[in-house]
Amino acid sequence: MAECVNCRQQVDDDAENCPHCGQDLSEPVVQQKPHCGTPHA
C-alpha cells in the first residue's frame, strides 16, 4: 500500500488517483527531473 501525498490515506500502489481525495498519483513526487540550462552556483 502507498500513502496519498495529499490526504495521507492508504491507497493502492497501482491507483492512478486517490479514492479519498482524487489526488493524481500517476506521477510519483519522489522523482525530480533535473533542470536543464540551470548552472550550479
**DSSP 8-state secondary structure symbol assigned to residue 24:** B
Binding of residue 19 to Zn ion (CB under 5 A)? no
Binding of residue 20 to Zn ion (CB under 5 A)? yes
CB 27 within 8 A of CB 17: no
Among 3, 12, 17, 21, binds Zn ion (CB under 5 A): 21
CB 9 within 8 A of CB 21: yes
Side chain identity at 35, as an amino acid letter? H
Q: What is the x/- site pattern for Zn ion, positions 22-41, by CB under 5 A?
A: -x------------------
Q: Which residues lie near Zn ion (CB under 5 A)?
A: 4, 6-7, 18, 20-21, 23
